[in-house]
């Protein structure tokens, strides 16, 4: 970055830990949204590597010191796979919330550029992207993944259940608009819990929701 950032804020509420490496991503918010990711050793605190600068929106641990980092904004819509030494092994034309099961990587896509071009997607090892069902809306809660691989997430006013690249179940919880947001979903047994809150200029109204499957 050429300019000293005015503010340097974390892009996520939690840190990604892969093996003995932790990744912390920061952005110059609310000015440019451009930032960096720092990979640090948990054993001695040494800096392992920094990611490429850009509009970082998402990240996830792959294990063994490797990470996925998603860039979105200023024309970017990409995921980069950083190995334990900071080398970019693979790039995909997709980014969003990642659902990782071994070598299988699914994405709940998020982009501001084209709200009609977001899908459930799978990132293949050769850098190609397989896209499944198209997704409405934009704001998406981080998914909760059930033991059978079903991903539960809130989007467009509904609680959605995604199996593979298809939305199998949809439960409408509120009107589908850009003012209603959700906390991350907590699943326990056959129940899922989330808090919905509506953004208003004068107040923020929230409610706790329990959904039984």
**Predicted pLDDT of residue 10:** 83
Span 10-57, pLDDT tens digits: 877 789 999 999 999 999 887 888 999 999 999 999 999 999 999 999
**Predicted pLDDT of residue 202:** 63
Q: How far apart are CA 179 and CA 196, in angstroms?
A: 10
pTM: 0.90
Q: How far apart are CA 188 and CA 179, in angstroms?
A: 27
Q: Specify the long-range contacts of residues 57-60, CB closer than 8 Å, at least 24 apart.
A: 57/11, 57/95, 57/110, 58/11, 58/12, 58/95, 58/96, 58/97, 58/98, 58/110, 59/11, 59/12, 59/16, 59/23, 59/25, 60/16, 60/98, 60/100
Nearest to 150 by CA among 209, 213, 92, 70: 213
Whether residue 116 contacts residue 126, with contact meaning beta carbons closer than 8 Å, is answered with no
> 1-135 adopts what CATH topology?
Methylamine Dehydrogenase; Chain H (2.130.10)
């Amino acid at each position: 970055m050429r300019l000293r950032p005015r503010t340097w804020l974390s892009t996520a509420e939690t840190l990604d830990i892969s093996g003995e490496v932790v990744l912390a991503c920061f952005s110059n918010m609310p000015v440019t949204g451009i930032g960096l990711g720092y990979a640090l050793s948990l054993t001695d605190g040494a800096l392992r590597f920094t990611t490429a600068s850009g509009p970082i929106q998402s990240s996830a641990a792959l294990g063994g010191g490797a990470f996925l980092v998603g860039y979105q904004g200023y024309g970017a819509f990409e995921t980069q796979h950083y190995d334990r030494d900071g080398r970019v092994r693979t790039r995909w034309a997709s980014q969003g919330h990642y659902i990782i099961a071994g070598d299988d990587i699914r994405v709940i896509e998020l982009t501001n550029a084209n709200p009609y071009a977001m899908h459930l997607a799978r990132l293949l090892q050769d850098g190609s992207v397989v896209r499944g069902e198209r997704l409405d809306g934009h704001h998406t809660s981080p998914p909760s993944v059930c033991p059978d691989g079903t991903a539960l997430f809130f989007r467009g006013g509904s609680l959605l259940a995604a199996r593979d690249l298809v939305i199998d179940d949809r439960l409408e919880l509120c009107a589908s608009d850009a003012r209603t947001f959700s906390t991350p979903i907590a699943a326990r047994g056959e129940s899922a819990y989330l808090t919905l809150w509506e953004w208003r200029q004068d107040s923020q109204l929230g409610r706790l929701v329990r959904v039984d499957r």
